[in-house]
Amino acid sequence: MEDQVHLMSAHIGLTGLSQEDAGDPDDIRKHPNFGQPQQHFGDILQQIMAITEERLDEAQARKHALNYHRMKPALFSVLCEMKEKTALSIRGIQEEEPPDPQIMRLDNMLLAEGVAGPERGGASAAAAAVAAAAGGSPDDGNFEDADYREKLAQIRQIYHTELEKYEQACSEFTNHVTNLLREQSRTRPTSPKENERLVEIIHRKFSAIQLQLKQSTCEAVMILRSRFLDARRKRRNFSKQAIEILNEYFYSHLANPYPSEKAKEELAKKCSITVSQVANWFGNKRIRYKKNILKFQEEANLYVMKTAVDAASVSSQTSQATSPATPNSGCWWLAGQ
DNA sequence: AATTATGATTTCCT
DNA sequence: AGGAAATCATAATT
């Protein structure tokens, strides 16, 4: 019995410490309660702060754990299977749509105008523009044409830089999405079809943006065209001087008023007009001269006189081709009458 | 306003 | 291709 009491007391004694602590009515005063909550909140705050940093690691750890779970491969394959099935139904919905006819139209137009596609005489146009800007050389008389080409080149440049920008952004974005998808493919099944679809969606979005660029470019070209081409269409008479030169050549070569390409170039240069204008002039002149020679007799005599005087002043012999007053044997103006 | 002159364009031919 | 012829569109003239 005694032993038992001892044992018990001993046992009690073991727990006595806690009993004493809790039992002491002064305990509350000995450990002031005011300090306790402060420390507590501090801990909580710290924990909260820590969460923001720990979560990622935790998540990574959880992900890692999942990835290496022994059931993972099996479950993953099941997932893949399910995905295949749903993808099949999705695949059925999307079909190959023909390229937007509107875009096609715009593309064709831009191509036709030389805005898109390879540099169509772009270098020469730029050179002409530069030459015109440099000193307005009387070389090429058609300033309007040069101006037009310069403006067109400008539009073309803007168009190309913008297009390039868009393309770059598009490929960048596509790359990004592809990378993202690849990243995701580690935790969820992704099919190449899915990637394809996403890329296609991206391209569609970007081409919608490009459509606007193309539209505005087309508009600009149209405006330029209506401004310049129509202005060019308005006929301007050649200068008196030019007419002099042309007539001189015509009547001094009345026997064969067909200037060679070289001669045309020279005349164009002298008259400050284009070669094709020279060709036009000669075409018109020939047909109109032969339509009624009588009407042009006066003019013919005038220029024959003029060249004769010139020839006389230059050299003594005047018995050259500068004698068209006497109809030649060729008689080009009797050709198709 | 009507007519003519003239540069450009179109069509056809070779 | 390059020219003839017809035609168009506008400048110049009357």
User: Are residues A74 and A181 located together in one domain of the fold?
Assistant: no
Query: Strand B positions with any atom < 7 Å from protein CB?
Result: 6-9
Predicted pLDDT of residue A35? 47
Distance CA A214, CA A319 (A): 64
Which residue has its C-alpha nearest to nucleotide B5's C1'?
A: A237
Q: Does residue A164 form part of some domain? A: yes
Domain of residue A79, residue span: 54-89
Residue A287 beta carbon within 7 A of nucleic strand C: yes
User: Are residues A177 and A112 located together in one domain of the fold?
Assistant: yes
User: Are residues A226 and A111 located together in one domain of the fold?
Assistant: yes
Choice between A308 and A274, residue whose per-residue pLDDT is larger? A274
Query: Would you report the helix, strand and coil content of chain A in percent, each value rounded to 5?
Result: 75, 0, 25
Residue A262 beta carbon within 7 A of nucleic strand B: no
Q: Does residue A13 form part of some domain? A: no
What phi and psi values does residue A172 have, to the nearest 5 degrees?
A: -60, -50
- Give the Cβ contact number of residue A209 at 10 Å: 13
- pLDDT surpasses 50 at A124: no
User: Are residues A182 and A244 located together in one domain of the fold?
Assistant: no
- Give the Cβ contact number of residue A266 at 10 Å: 16
Distance CA A259, CA A254 (A): 11
User: Are residues A281 and A220 located together in one domain of the fold?
Assistant: no
Distance CA A284, CA A237 (A): 14
Predicted pLDDT of residue A132? 40
Choice between A55 and A16, residue whose per-residue pLDDT is larger? A55
Q: Does residue A4 form part of some domain? A: no
Residue ranges with strand state E in chain A: none
Distance CA A271, CA A244 (A): 9
User: Are residues A189 and A214 located together in one domain of the fold?
Assistant: yes
pLDDT tens for A152-161 read 778 888 989 9
Residue A258 beta carbon within 7 A of nucleic strand C: yes
User: Are residues A186 and A305 located together in one domain of the fold?
Assistant: no
**Dihedral Cα A323, A326, A331, A337, nearest 10 deg:** 130
- Chain A residues 277-316 within 7 Å (CB) of strand B: 277, 280-281, 283-284, 288
Choice between A179 and A323, residue whose per-residue pLDDT is larger? A179
User: Are residues A158 and A266 located together in one domain of the fold?
Assistant: no
- pLDDT surpasses 50 at A319: no
Predicted pLDDT of residue A235? 84
- pLDDT surpasses 80 at A41: no
The rounded mean pLDDT for chain A is 73
Choice between A124 and A173, residue whose per-residue pLDDT is larger? A173
Residues 6+ apart with CB under 8 A from A296: A288, A289
Choice between A8 and A172, residue whose per-residue pLDDT is larger? A172
Predicted pLDDT of residue A230? 61
pLDDT tens for A161-195 read 999 999 999 999 999 988 888 888 877 777 788 88
H/E run at residue A209: helix A192-233
Q: Does residue A307 form part of some domain? A: yes
Q: Indicate the number of domains in chain A.
A: 3
Query: Strand C positions with any atom < 7 Å from protein CB?
Result: 2-7, 9-12
CA of residue A185 to C1' of nucleotide C10, angstroms: 72
Residue A292 beta carbon within 7 A of nucleic strand C: no
Predicted pLDDT of residue A276? 96
User: Are residues A198 and A115 located together in one domain of the fold?
Assistant: yes
The average pLDDT across A284-288 equals 97
- Chain A residues 205-234 within 7 Å (CB) of strand B: 232-233
CA of residue A66 to C1' of nucleotide B9, angstroms: 79
Confirm if A318 and A278 have CB atoms less than 8 A apart. no
pLDDT grade for A19, boundaries at 50, 70 and 90: very low
Residue A285 beta carbon within 7 A of nucleic strand C: no
- With CA of A232 and C1' of each nucleotide, the nearest comes out as B8
Choice between A114 and A2, residue whose per-residue pLDDT is larger? A114
| Lowest mean pLDDT across A62-66, A193-197, A303-307 | A62-66
Residue A279 beta carbon within 7 A of nucleic strand C: yes
What are the Cα distances from residue A81, in Å, to A75, A85, A321?
10, 6, 95
Residue A226 beta carbon within 7 A of nucleic strand C: no
User: Are residues A112 and A204 located together in one domain of the fold?
Assistant: yes
User: Are residues A206 and A248 located together in one domain of the fold?
Assistant: no
User: Are residues A256 and A284 located together in one domain of the fold?
Assistant: yes
- With CA of A286 and C1' of each nucleotide, the nearest comes out as C4
CA angle at residue A91 from A90 to A92, to 5 degrees? 90
Q: Does residue A28 form part of some domain? A: no
> How big is chain A by its Cα radius of gyration, in Å?
47
Residue A30 beta carbon within 7 A of nucleic strand B: no
CA of residue A295 to C1' of nucleotide C7, angstroms: 21
